[in-house]
């Protein structure tokens, strides 16, 4: 849609500046285009200065794209734009205001690893065994409380079990430990501005006057704290435009509230509502299939998407025996698409519900020599050697950060064991000093010999570079620190391929610091650390690489590909088993499936397995996903993939074998998906899956009491119920 003008509805939404505006933007309807044009309209018409406009997105990649488009349309560079994610906007605000809450502006942001490490320390101090409660579970529970705007006292009042009360005790100490470390977690970044707004009305007034027009992208994904942040600022002027699609609300599990978009009119009375229903991404076949599924949700706004790219092909449906055959079938279809339709590897996205599904897919891709990349695996900045270097830098800017201190005090190995660290912790408590400050005098803690020397050397190095923070360029400072600590020397000594990779990763961090300083010459090391801490997996995605992309459906949000494979389409996997018992969760799973389908521009292939290995050796027998049953038959084309014993193998120039795939419409004997049938024992049920033919025909039936059975037709003696 880059070279097209705004359509009629888009133009109206852009030019409406008299009222609060809600834009329901269906998948592929050009919402980013509308947002960027609206920002430009506000500036060019002289309605608002660039610095008076706040635009909020959910990923750094989206913020960067929006900023580039606005500057391009304005034909100006270095326009003072406030465009960023909720976390980055709030972080910037807190750097200015957090001193009012007893923190220093040099606070560090703890990622998931850091949070878990701190919770382990807290649990040890409270003598709570990790066998009793997992630190990761505690972290998730604390995050849940924070998203619900509950402090530890309120959480404890609501606790019903001894375990929940214990978690609340950990929560209390965890929060005080964060403050002691001058650290915030991701949830705090959103919560603390609200605390400031409530306790210091002048702070709220300041930002109401600063940001006079608010735009929010992906509004359906906002949680309670994000909603309150936006509404607190926007209600002063009532100048707000939000864009979203309730059918793409897929983050309820992390606190997103679909009611924020559905109840927007209640929050901002008199708002104008626009529906963007022209789709510039997908074919009509894909849109019709996606709409047919999501229409089964009750909690949604009505909309009808119309494709601008023609009718297109039906969605391919592949039944396979197990996850290995599913992967083989996928490869075969992929190779056929490359051969017949001149596609490249980067045209394909393979989506799955859970990360665990990627293993069989990866194995098959590797065996067939097909290049691929995984989005959402271990991120670059989460790798051990990278985290070690970042911990040094975090300690450098914030000597109160005990989690980073514990991480690097014996890396590279200095002979400083846990007992020595415990002695330092006890001394700090006794003297009421920071842990870092006691390291310079080991004799006070009865630490002698080599350990004492190493402690003192570590203390002196970190103190020296802390003093140099304002005197040296960040790039120069980090390179010198790496050299003096001996990180690279340590890995060079090991001399393995893995260690060479670690050396490369450390050098890559050094390069990223240099690049950051080139982009922002006046920035501080704190700014670099903040940028790194707020990166998401998708921010590193490069669509120029000629590789097949593998990712969860959640990770695919906001992306598009010519061809999309949706794998693991079985009840219990997609939708997840737990969602089958809960209406709201099932509706969110359905929205997630809708998101998966609408990532595709031209073709969708749906794959399911009759048998799938779960939890090691356990075999799971599944029924085809109910979502496939919700797609009208005339939008589906069954692709017959031969079984492992009978598939036709043909030669390949690349030295591997591949399976021939025949595209045919499979006709089953007497039964169809959706038929009501009666069984002599189990009663009336609905056919959800079909496989095989003749004497080997099998049906998957869900009976009225929820009982699921896979039956061989010739033995089951099923009767159709009209």
Above 80 in pLDDT, residue 382? no
Query: In terms of residues, how long is the chain?
Result: 722
CA atoms within 13 A on the CB side of 107: 29
The whole model's pTM is what?
Answer: 0.74
Above 80 in pLDDT, residue 640? no
As a whole number, mean pLDDT of residues 123-127 equals 92
Give the pLDDT band of residue 533 (cuts 50, 70, 90).
confident
Neighbours of 190 (CB within 10 A): 23
Above 80 in pLDDT, residue 376? no
Above 60 in pLDDT, residue 208? yes
Q: Do residues 608 and 624 lie in contact, with contact meaning Cβ atoms separated by under 8 Å?
A: yes
DSSP state of 443: G
Rg, Å, the chain Cα set: 28
As a whole number, mean pLDDT of residues 492-497 equals 72
Catalytic residue of the set 31, 38, 275, 647: 31
When mean pLDDT is compared across 43-52, 260-269, 433-442, the lowest value belongs to 433-442
As a whole number, mean pLDDT of residues 163-169 equals 93
Above 60 in pLDDT, residue 343? yes
pLDDT tens across 591-632, in order? 999 999 999 999 999 999 888 765 443 445 568 899 999 999
Catalytic residue of the set 248, 285, 320, 394: 248
Q: What is the pLDDT of residue 540?
A: 52
**483 or 208: whose pLDDT is higher?**
208
As a whole number, mean pLDDT of residues 226-238 equals 93
pLDDT tens across 3-16, in order? 358 899 999 999 99
Is residue 31 flagged as an active site residue? yes
Q: What is the pLDDT of residue 356?
A: 77
Q: What is the pLDDT of residue 667?
A: 36
Q: What is the pLDDT of residue 663?
A: 31
Give the pLDDT band of residue 530 (cuts 50, 70, 90).
confident
Is residue 218 flagged as an active site residue? yes
Distance CA(663)–CA(283), nearest Å, equals 20
Q: What is the mean pLDDT of the chain?
A: 84
Q: What is the pLDDT of residue 301?
A: 82
Tokens of 189: 């970044």
For 446, the 3-state DSSP assignment is coil
As a whole number, mean pLDDT of residues 192-212 equals 96
Catalytic residue of the set 187, 188, 218, 323: 218
Which run of H or of E encompasses 56? Answer: strand 53-57
Q: Do residues 276 and 11 lie in contact, with contact meaning Cβ atoms separated by under 8 Å?
A: no
Above 50 in pLDDT, residue 459? yes
Helix axes 186-199 and 201-210, enclosed angle (nearest 10): 110
Above 70 in pLDDT, residue 657? no
As a whole number, mean pLDDT of residues 443-450 equals 81
As a whole number, mean pLDDT of residues 648-660 equals 36
Q: What is the pLDDT of residue 714?
A: 67
Catalytic residue of the set 185, 187, 217, 337: 217
Is residue 32 flagged as an active site residue? yes
**81 or 154: whose pLDDT is higher?**
154
Distance CA(93)–CA(187), nearest Å, equals 15
Above 70 in pLDDT, residue 133? yes
Give the pLDDT band of residue 701 (cuts 50, 70, 90).
confident
Dihedral angle computed from the Cα positions of residues 193, 196, 198 and 199, in that order, rounded to the nearest 10 degrees: 170
Above 90 in pLDDT, residue 368? no
Strand partners, 552: 352
pLDDT tens across 394-405, in order? 988 888 888 888
Distance CA(512)–CA(48), nearest Å, equals 35
As a whole number, mean pLDDT of residues 386-415 equals 88
Above 70 in pLDDT, residue 1? no
Q: What is the pLDDT of residue 653?
A: 36
Between the alpha carbon of residue 590 and those of residues 248, 668, 678, the distances in Å are: 9, 27, 28
Above 90 in pLDDT, residue 446? no
As a whole number, mean pLDDT of residues 532-558 equals 76
Share of the chain above pLDDT 90, in %: 39
Is residue 248 flagged as an active site residue? yes
One-character DSSP codes across 25-54: E-TTS-HHHHHHHHHHHHHHTTSS-GGGEE
Between the alpha carbon of residue 493 and those of residues 104, 417, 485, 488, the distances in Å are: 39, 21, 14, 9
Above 80 in pLDDT, residue 115? yes
Give the pLDDT band of residue 569 (cuts 50, 70, 90).
very high
Above 90 in pLDDT, residue 172? yes
Above 60 in pLDDT, residue 652? no
pLDDT tens across 25-56, in order? 888 888 888 999 999 999 999 999 999 999 99
Which run of H or of E encompasses 474? Answer: helix 474-485
Catalytic residue of the set 599, 626, 647, 658: 599
């Amino acid at each position: 849609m880059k070279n097209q003008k705004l359509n009629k509805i888009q133009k109206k939404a852009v030019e409406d500046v008299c009222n609060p505006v809600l834009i329901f933007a269906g998948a592929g309807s050009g919402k980013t285009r509308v947002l960027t044009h609206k920002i430009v309209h506000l500036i060019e018409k002289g309605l608002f200065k660039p610095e008076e406009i706040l635009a909020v997105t959910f990923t750094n990649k989206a913020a960067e794209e929006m900023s580039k488009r606005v500057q391009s349309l304005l034909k100006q560079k270095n326009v003072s734009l406030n465009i960023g994610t909720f976390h980055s906007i709030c972080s910037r605000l807190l750097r200015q205001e957090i001193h009012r809450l007893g923190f220093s502006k040099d606070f560090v942001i703890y990622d998931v690893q850091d949070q878990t490490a701190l919770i382990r320390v807290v649990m040890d101090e409270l003598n709570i065994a990790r066998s009793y409660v997992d630190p990761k579970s505690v972290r998730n529970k604390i995050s849940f409380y924070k998203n619900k705007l509950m402090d530890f006292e309120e959480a404890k009042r609501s606790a019903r079990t001894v375990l929940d009360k214990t978690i609340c005790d950990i929560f209390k100490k965890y929060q005080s430990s964060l403050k002691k470390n001058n650290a915030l977690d991701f949830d705090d970044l959103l919560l603390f501005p609200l605390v400031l707004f409530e306790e210091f009305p002048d702070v709220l007034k300041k930002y109401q006057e600063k940001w006079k027009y608010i735009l929010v992208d992906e509004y359906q994904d906002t949680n309670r704290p994000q909603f309150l942040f936006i509404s607190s600022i926007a209600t002063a002027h009532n100048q707000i435009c939000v864009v979203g699609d309730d059918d793409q609300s897929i983050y309820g599990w992390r606190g997103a509230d679909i009611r924020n978009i559905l109840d927007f009119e209640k929050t901002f009375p008199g708002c104008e509502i626009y529906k963007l229903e022209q789709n510039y991404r997908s074919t009509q076949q894909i849109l019709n299939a996606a709409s047919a599924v999501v229409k089964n949700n009750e909690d949604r706004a009505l909309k009808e998407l119309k494709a601008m790219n023609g009718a297109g092909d039906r969605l391919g449906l592949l039944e396979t025996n197990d996850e290995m055959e599913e992967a083989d079938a996928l490869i075969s279809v992929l190779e056929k698409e490359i051969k017949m339709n001149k596609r490249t590897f980067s045209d394909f996205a393979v989506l799955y519900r859970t990360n665990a599904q990627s293993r069989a897919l990866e194995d098959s891709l590797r065996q067939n020599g097909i290049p691929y990349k995984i989005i959402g695996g271990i991120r670059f900045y989460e790798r051990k050697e990278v985290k070690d270097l970042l911990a040094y830098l975090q300690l450098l800017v914030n000597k109160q950060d005990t989690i980073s201190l514990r991480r690097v005090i014996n890396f590279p190995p200095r002979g400083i064991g846990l007992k020595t660290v415990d002695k330092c912790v006890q001394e700090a408590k006794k003297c009421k000093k920071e842990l870092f400050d006691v390291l310079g005098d080991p004799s006070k803690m009865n630490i002698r010999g080599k350990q004492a020397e190493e402690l003192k050397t570590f203390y002196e190095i970190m103190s020296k570079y802390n003093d140099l923070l304002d005197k040296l360029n960040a790039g120069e400072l980090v390179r010198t620190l790496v050299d003096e600590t001996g990180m690279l020397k340590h890995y060079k000594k090991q001399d393995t391929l893995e260690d060479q990779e670690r050396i490369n990763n450390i050098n890559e961090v050094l390069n990223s610091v240099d690049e950051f300083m080139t982009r922002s010459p006046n920035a501080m090391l704190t700014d670099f650390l903040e940028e790194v801490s707020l990166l998401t997996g998708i921010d590193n995605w490069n669509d120029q690489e000629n590789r097949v992309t593998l990712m969860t459906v959640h990770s695919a949000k906001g992306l598009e590909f010519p061809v999309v494979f949706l794998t693991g389409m079985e009840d219990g996997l997609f939708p997840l088993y737990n969602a089958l018992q809960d209406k709201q969760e099932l509706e969110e799973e359905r929205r997630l499936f809708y998101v998966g389908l609408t990532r595709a521009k031209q073709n969708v292939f749906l794959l399911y397995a009759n048998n799938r290995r779960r939890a090691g050796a356990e075999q799971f027998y599944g029924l085809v996903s109910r979502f496939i049953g919700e797609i009208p038959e005339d939008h589906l084309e069954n692709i017959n993939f031969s079984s492992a014993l009978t598939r036709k193998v043909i030669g390949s120039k690349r030295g591997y074998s591949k399976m021939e795939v025949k595209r045919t419409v499979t006709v089953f004997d007497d039964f169809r998906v959706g038929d009501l049938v009666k069984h002599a024992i189990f009663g009336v049920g609905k056919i959800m899956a079909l496989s095989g033919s003749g004497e080997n025909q099998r049906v998957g039936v869900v009976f009225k009491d929820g009982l699921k059975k896979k039956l061989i037709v010739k033995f089951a003696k099923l009767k159709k119920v009209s």
